[in-house]
Amino acid sequence: MKSKTSLFNKTIFNNNIKRVWPFWGLLSFFALLPSLLIIVESFRGYSEISTEPLEMKHLYYQCATYIAPFVAFATAIIAAMLVWSYLDSTRSVGFYHSIPISKTGLFVTQFVSGLTIMLIPYAIGGAAFILTVLCLGGGFPLATLVCIGTVIADSFFFFAFATLIAHLTGNILALPALYLVFNFLFIALENLLNFVCSSFLFGLDFELSDKTAFLTPIYKLLSDVYVNTEYSPWSPFSANYEGSRLISVEWVNYHWVLIYAAVGVVFAIGALMIYKRRRSEAAGDVISTKCLKPIIHAVYVVTVTALFGLLLYYMFNEGIIDCRMKIVLAIICFGVAATIAYYTGLMLLEKTVKVFNKKTLKGLIVTLAAVVVICFGVKYDVLKVERRIPKLSDIETVEVISQNNFYLDGKKDQELVQKTLDIHKLIIDNKRVLVNEMYGDMNDEYRYDGYVSFFYHLKDGSTMVRRYNIDLNKENHKELFEQYKNYMTDKKMTLRVMHDNDDYEIESADFNINWDHDERYPSGLDYGWYELTDKQIRDLYEAVKADLQEGSWEPGFSDKEGVANIYFNFEKLMDQTEYRSYYSYDTLYVDVKDNMKHSLEAIADIMGVSHEDLMNDARKYAKDMEEWNKEHRYDDMNVEYYEYRD
């Protein structure tokens, strides 16, 4: 009589381990290589491995952080394919289910087999490494157990994940494909939809996002879990020897390993529940769980529609998107893509090309209706993504990145933050003008080409980013240009550029002049050759500040030719420990014009030449460059002008 109570079958377990020995044997060989290399180098007298407790702790933490997740992710799918391959054949399923063991017992046996296959190389390689370290005089620190625990936790989670996928499909080729898809699904969809929306919504600029990173385990483990170290200066032999010594090792965000291990338990239980209800006839199906098929199909349709639809739109719209959605063309392109995705998805899931019928037609109609609704929703910004502006009370800090970069505090600089919100609203209200001018005459002498990015760091911990091209004809849109210019050259605002009201200190400064040198100037004038004293740096800084306050320096808005360049390098102490200081850095570039009297006089003082001579040379250079630019202006450039209409 068949026993239905056994929870483990030793014979099946042993057979599983024996029949796949080439897999774990090859991995074990590679796992032994580090120990063999250390032994060989020790005999040669070149071994550089340190057996100091902190160094060993650092090494084990690095293995647990950067090696274990990657290896577990890669080997889990192979182990799952080896132990669960019988689910892909009706004959194999029938054979295994005829063995005198319950489904629960068979599941436990196969699960333990797969996990063991993954852990054998770790056990062999790890034991060899620990023994090697002990022979070299090292110890067995607590970090060793931490590393072993992490290896087991990561292996358990990824194998449980692969096991769950194996029970959702009945096709051996679909298993690795679905494993990869489900591992990266959410972060991939997030960035795909972000890319599509950024192509059509004013102010949105595509950048990689990881808000759903916690649903992408391998990405989360490799990006958020890390090892933090601190070093101190060390001179063990002489005062002339400068080295560093490890003084602190910390494993940061390790709780994610524990969280994913707990999730692995849920996945394993879920796989067992599916297995108990699994029909033998499901072998061979791409998706063996009926209720999952609509979800997989929907994800496939969304992905293919977004990618292929955007490609078609680029092709038929000459690649020009930038906030200019042509609604009819968009509906046609994304509608064609959705139709193709809908039917090809059904063909893959049903393993037949006979999917064109009245039943599937209803689903296609719903899909196309969704495409139309979404296209109109994006076109007219139904969710108010384009028009979203944070409230003043919600802002922690805001960074304004443009020709001038400002960093404003939501509490200390409320007046300037409000001005930033006002100019942001002005840009949104003038979307039509700015989008039109984006493709205006590039050779227009009244044209202003600029950009601005707003980085709002909100009190809830999120960050809102908007980027705009500020391309304008200064005559045709004089009022808009003047408002934008007044904001960018506001005295209080531009003093932030010079870090006049924060904790940044000038670390160094450099300058150079643009015109040819002659015998009146000292040698070594080229950029970087002057070593300025603290007093010269401060005088140069105060001179630029004086020009700024007088209005002779309008950063980014002067049409005059630059005659010299000044670079200020700032640093700010962010944190300091007993052994190390942490700084934030910034650089200010000043394009000196011939009307910036104070700056040019400060340069003359540093160079040791008269103010009058240097000012005359600067004005002459600016005049010569202006005449040269007039002679070489290409007035006949054929630049096509596009007009934006809703």
| Mean pLDDT estimate for the chain | 85
**Count of CB atoms situated within 10 Å of the CB of 457:** 17
* Highest mean pLDDT: which range of 230-244, 246-260, 498-512, 553-567: 246-260
Name the more confident of 494 and 539. Answer: 539
The pLDDT of residue 579 is: 60
Per-residue pLDDT at 4 exceeds 70: no
pLDDT interval class at 242 (50, 70, 90): low
DSSP 560-619: SPP-EEEEEEEEEEEEE-SS-EEEEEEEEEEEE-TT-HHHHHHHHHHHT--HHHHHHHHH
The pLDDT of residue 523 is: 54
The pLDDT of residue 320 is: 52
Question: How confident is the model over 107-157, as pLDDT tens digits?
Answer: 999 999 999 999 999 999 999 999 988 888 777 888 999 999 999 999 999
Cβ atoms of 578 and 587 within 8 Å: the answer is no
pTM comes to 0.78
pLDDT interval class at 528 (50, 70, 90): very low
Q: For the chain, give me the number of helices (H) and strands (E)?
A: 20, 9
The pLDDT of residue 16 is: 92
What DSSP state is assigned to residue 517? Answer: P
Cβ atoms of 473 and 437 within 8 Å: the answer is yes
* Highest mean pLDDT: which range of 146-160, 210-224, 352-366: 146-160
The whole-number average pLDDT for the span 255-274 is: 95
Which of these, 37, 25, 56, 51, lies nearest to 128 by C-alpha position?
A: 37
Per-residue pLDDT at 376 exceeds 70: yes
Cβ atoms of 38 and 49 within 8 Å: the answer is yes
Strands (E), 118-261: 226-234, 243-252
Question: Would you tell me the crossing angle of helices 103-135 and 255-277 to the nearest 10 degrees?
Answer: 150
Cβ atoms of 455 and 404 within 8 Å: the answer is no
* Highest mean pLDDT: which range of 44-53, 435-444, 585-594: 585-594
Using a pLDDT cut of 90, give the percent of the chain over it.
40
Per-residue pLDDT at 64 exceeds 50: yes
pLDDT interval class at 48 (50, 70, 90): low
The pLDDT of residue 237 is: 52
Could you state, in order of their start, the residue ranges of all structural domains in the chain?
A: 10-171+229-284, 291-379, 392-492, 498-630
The pLDDT of residue 45 is: 67
Cβ atoms of 496 and 539 within 8 Å: the answer is no
The pLDDT of residue 207 is: 79
The pLDDT of residue 226 is: 92
Per-residue pLDDT at 192 exceeds 90: no
Structure-block tokens of residue 87: 């689910």
> In whole angstroms, what separates CA 97 from the centre of its chain?
47
Per-residue pLDDT at 263 exceeds 90: yes
Q: For residues 607 and 610, what is the distance between their CA atoms, to the nearest angstrom?
A: 9
* Distance separating the N- and C-terminal Cα atoms of the chain: 78
The phi and psi torsions of 580 (rounded to 5 degrees) equal: -150, 145
Query: Per mean pLDDT, which range of 371-375, 499-503, 600-604 is the poorest?
Result: 499-503
Using a pLDDT cut of 70, give the percent of the chain over it.
89
The pLDDT of residue 638 is: 44
Question: How confident is the model over 90-112, as pLDDT tens digits?
Answer: 888 888 888 888 889 999 999 99
* Highest mean pLDDT: which range of 44-48, 366-370, 551-555: 366-370
The pLDDT of residue 281 is: 59
Q: For residues 403 and 554, what is the distance between their CA atoms, to the nearest angstrom?
A: 10
pLDDT interval class at 317 (50, 70, 90): confident
Cβ atoms of 90 and 283 within 8 Å: the answer is yes
Question: How confident is the model over 458-515, as pLDDT tens digits?
Answer: 999 889 999 999 988 888 889 999 999 889 888 888 888 888 777 888 888 988 888 8
